[in-house]
Amino acid sequence: MSTVRQVITSLKAPMSLGPYSQAIKAGNTLYISGQIGLNVETGLMAPDVESQAEQVLKNMGYILEAANMNFSNVVKTTVLLGDINDFQKVNSIYAKYFKEPYPARACFAPGSLPKQAKVEIEAIAVDGLLCSD
């Protein structure tokens, strides 16, 4: 049995900076590529880490919307920081978008990110989730 693979794109989120897709849906699972704080309307990167985190999550929301999903469908994220000292600042913005039960998450600081971004977040979401506590 084969799984259908579908490219998911939102014109409200920045287009890919290289040879990859904004997101790929395979079966009922959506894989969202790392999003940075670029604003599509202005073409500019948000100025500080909090504003970038906010824009990153807005961009992710646009992609989820294009796949007929929302933040409650996200089961796993990876947060990349330019500076690990920004963890608490990004965490406070992140908490505005994700509610319990929170997705699983990894967070680390690789040192530098594309376009000198201060934060990048990728995600995995699953369509048709039912929550049980």
**Which residues are the active-site residues?**
107
Q: From the CB of residue 97, how many other CB atoms can be counted at a distance below 10 Å? A: 18
The Cα 58–Cα 114 span in angstroms is 18
Q: What is each CA distance from 108 to 20, 81, 117, in whole angstroms?
A: 22, 6, 14
The Cα 120–Cα 35 span in angstroms is 5
